[in-house]
Chain A
């Protein structure tokens, strides 16, 4: 059993809005071989990167990242991901309702986020196939 769990793909999902967490949980329930972990604070995610670096936590295969968070904004989280050797290569999908050319450029060009997705345009049913494709599940 533990081996099987280890073979599952792992997504770290940083999202503060509880209603959206509920929505995504409902939507991804159908996905197989994927494990999800939701975090509602930017600091939690930054701490996690440190733990991964120290070998205390498992490295996710993908990070879903909201930008406007209650404590530390998503761009800082992405900086931590990119500045930590052990997490540097994890794909980061920004999933936010925050748009603005400056921020989009910063995230995709400076911080090499793989995708910049706007929530109103990327509903759960559109999102699931993208996640499956990215994780090599489809």
Chain B
């Protein structure tokens, strides 16, 4: 019995507990038969016990299941013990019910109906050869019944037996209840785990979809970049051949060149040079549009020397066009934080543009600082712009000034758009003013002296 008590308190497997209870009682008390009926608390949805016969009688909506029977002749219908009257009685008394005592109890009853019920119960117990019913009570609630047969010896149950069995049934009730709670928790955990697994799976799937889309885009992006890089190679190669041979021709590598032919070579060289510039601009803008136009800023960029360099580079072109190109610096201007290479390209485009579109007069570049900004003005006496042109000036490429088509200048649309993008990436501003066609233009650029990386459009 002590072994059973140990098992009951430590075991939480319901079917094991039921087995222990039935087998131990039967063996310890030397009984011919023993069994347990349990209230099916899950209303049949979860079957807690193995080898269960079909669900028993429905009483007050409570279903009993035969958890385990040993020695009972099931053909006699042990499930008949599942009696509404019996359960109510056991719930009420919470004490062992001995079959032999039923008739004595019935005698004292006044109600004929109750007497009838007791007699019926006694008869039922006799038919299934049950001598004793022990209630299993938890918190004043009947959760099952231990049904026992007779002692093999034929002896009656003693008072000690009943006391012991009563104690045992209480412990059995606790063990069964614990096992059920444990199972419920386990089931709950299992359901929870299932839900977590499902959701994890969904998230994983969504992640995979996202990752694939990202990879596809990346691949497309790489393909576009590779296409551009290879294209630029193919566009430039014939130009380098032309330019190279023309330079050898002009350099007298193939003999002395007559002046007339020399002029032709100069024309060819100039147009090749223009084409190289156009291709370079086209590639710059393409790579910018492909999303690779990012800026990498560094502090200490000498904006004044940068502009001096730009105007010096373009002075031969201005001289050639017989216009002036001046650089004016108002006061001390601090160094700025910028992507030197890209900013130089942006400013060069704007000054280059002004020089190309000016046929008389000239271009003046002014630099000054104001608070935390530097201001650059590029003013020309060139072809000017109307209101419509101004609106579209910095828009997407190839929406360039109508007038520009007649001005035999290359790359204006590309250059200005790109310049504007770079200046915006630096957190700066660019705009243009003109009093109208043939009245010159002025481009204004404002750049912050220092920028943080957060301002940069990547």
* Residue ID in chain B nearest A103 by CB atoms: B229
* Bound-state Cα–Cα, A85 to B279, Å: 40
Q: Can you list 16 A-B contacts with CB-CB less than 8 angstroms, sorted by A residue number?
A: A19-B238, A23-B244, A23-B248, A26-B248, A26-B253, A27-B248, A27-B253, A67-B233, A96-B233, A97-B233, A99-B232, A100-B229, A119-B240, A120-B276, A123-B247, A124-B248
Taking a contact as CB atoms under 8 Å apart, the answer to whether A68 and B233 are in contact is: yes
Per-residue CB contact flags for chain B residues 271-299 toward chain A (1 = under 8 Å, else 0) read 00000100110010001000010000000
Contact of B247 among A20, A103, A124 (CB under 8 A): A124
Taking a contact as CB atoms under 8 Å apart, the answer to whether B245 and A23 are in contact is: yes
Q: Which of A112-138 contact B (CB under 8 A)?
A: 118-120, 123-125
Which residues of B are found within 8 Å of A118, using beta-carbon distances? Answer: 236
Min CB–CB distance A103 → chain B (angstroms): 7
Q: Which of B124-150 contact A (CB under 8 A)?
A: none
Which residues of A are found within 8 Å of B241, using beta-carbon distances? Answer: 17, 19-20, 23
Which residues of A are found within 8 Å of B283, using beta-carbon distances? Answer: 99
B451 at interface (Cβ–Cβ under 8 A)?
A: no
Contacts A23-B241, A100-B229; is A119 near B236 (CB within 8 Å)? yes
* Bound-state Cα–Cα, A96 to B232, Å: 11
* Bound-state Cα–Cα, A67 to B232, Å: 13
* Bound-state Cα–Cα, A101 to B288, Å: 12
Per-residue CB contact flags for chain A residues 54-76 toward chain B (1 = under 8 Å, else 0) read 00000000000001100000000
B57 at interface (Cβ–Cβ under 8 A)?
A: no
Give the 9 A-B CB pairs with smallest separation, nearest first: A97-B236, A119-B240, A19-B241, A23-B244, A97-B233, A98-B233, A120-B276, A123-B247, A125-B247
Taking a contact as CB atoms under 8 Å apart, the answer to whether A123 and B243 are in contact is: yes
Per-residue CB contact flags for chain B residues 240-256 toward chain A (1 = under 8 Å, else 0) read 11011101100101100
Min CB–CB distance A23 → chain B (angstroms): 4
Q: Which residues of A contact B (CB under 8 A)?
A: 17, 19-20, 23-24, 26-27, 29-30, 67-68, 96-101, 103, 118-120, 123-125
Contacts A124-B247, A125-B248; is A98 near B229 (CB within 8 Å)? yes
Taking a contact as CB atoms under 8 Å apart, the answer to whether B229 and A20 are in contact is: no
Min CB–CB distance B266 → chain A (angstroms): 15
Which residues of B are found within 8 Å of A100, using beta-carbon distances? Answer: 225, 229, 287
B239 at interface (Cβ–Cβ under 8 A)?
A: yes
* Residue ID in chain B nearest A97 by CB atoms: B236
Which residues of B are found within 8 Å of A103, using beta-carbon distances? Answer: 229
* Bound-state Cα–Cα, A27 to B247, Å: 10
Contacts A23-B248, A26-B253; is A120 near B230 (CB within 8 Å)? no
* Residue ID in chain B nearest A16 by CB atoms: B237
Contacts A23-B248, A120-B276; is A68 near B230 (CB within 8 Å)? yes
Min CB–CB distance A114 → chain B (angstroms): 20
Min CB–CB distance B73 → chain A (angstroms): 88
* Bound-state Cα–Cα, A69 to B20, Å: 84
Contact of B240 among A30, A68, A97 (CB under 8 A): A97
* Bound-state Cα–Cα, A99 to B283, Å: 10
Which residues of A are found within 8 Å of B243, using beta-carbon distances? Answer: 120, 123
Taking a contact as CB atoms under 8 Å apart, the answer to whether A20 and B237 are in contact is: yes
Min CB–CB distance A69 → chain B (angstroms): 11
Knowing that A17-B237, A26-B254, A67-B233 touch, tell me 5 more A-B residue pairs with CB under 8 angstroms.
A17-B241, A19-B238, A20-B244, A97-B240, A120-B276
* Bound-state Cα–Cα, A14 to B368, Å: 49
* Bound-state Cα–Cα, A138 to B279, Å: 34
Which residues of B are found within 8 Å of A23, using beta-carbon distances? Answer: 241, 244-245, 248
Taking a contact as CB atoms under 8 Å apart, the answer to whether A97 and B232 are in contact is: yes
* Residue ID in chain B nearest A125 by CB atoms: B247
Taking a contact as CB atoms under 8 Å apart, the answer to whether B237 and A97 are in contact is: yes
Which residues of A are found within 8 Å of B254, using beta-carbon distances? Answer: 26
* Bound-state Cα–Cα, A17 to B237, Å: 8
* Residue ID in chain B nearest A95 by CB atoms: B240
Which residues of B are found within 8 Å of A120, using beta-carbon distances? Answer: 236, 239-240, 243, 276, 279-280
Taking a contact as CB atoms under 8 Å apart, the answer to whether B240 and A123 are in contact is: yes
* Residue ID in chain B nearest A118 by CB atoms: B236
* Bound-state Cα–Cα, A125 to B250, Å: 11
Which residues of A are found within 8 Å of B237, using beta-carbon distances? Answer: 17, 20, 97, 119
* Bound-state Cα–Cα, A98 to B229, Å: 6
* Residue ID in chain B nearest A18 by CB atoms: B241
Q: Which of B204-247 contact A (CB under 8 A)?
A: 225, 229-230, 232-233, 235-241, 243-245, 247
Per-residue CB contact flags for chain B residues 73-113 toward chain A (1 = under 8 Å, else 0) read 00000000000000000000000000000000000000000
Min CB–CB distance B287 → chain A (angstroms): 8
Which residues of B are found within 8 Å of A97, using beta-carbon distances? Answer: 232-233, 235-237, 240
* Residue ID in chain B nearest A101 by CB atoms: B292
Min CB–CB distance A93 → chain B (angstroms): 15
- Give the interface centre of A19, A27, A97, A101 by most chain B CB atoms within 10 Å: A97
Per-residue CB contact flags for chain B residues 316-343 toward chain A (1 = under 8 Å, else 0) read 0000000000000000000000000000
* Bound-state Cα–Cα, A23 to B287, Å: 30
Which residues of B are found within 8 Å of A24, using beta-carbon distances? Answer: 244
* Bound-state Cα–Cα, A24 to B248, Å: 10
Min CB–CB distance B348 → chain A (angstroms): 15
* Residue ID in chain A nearest B284 by CB atoms: A99
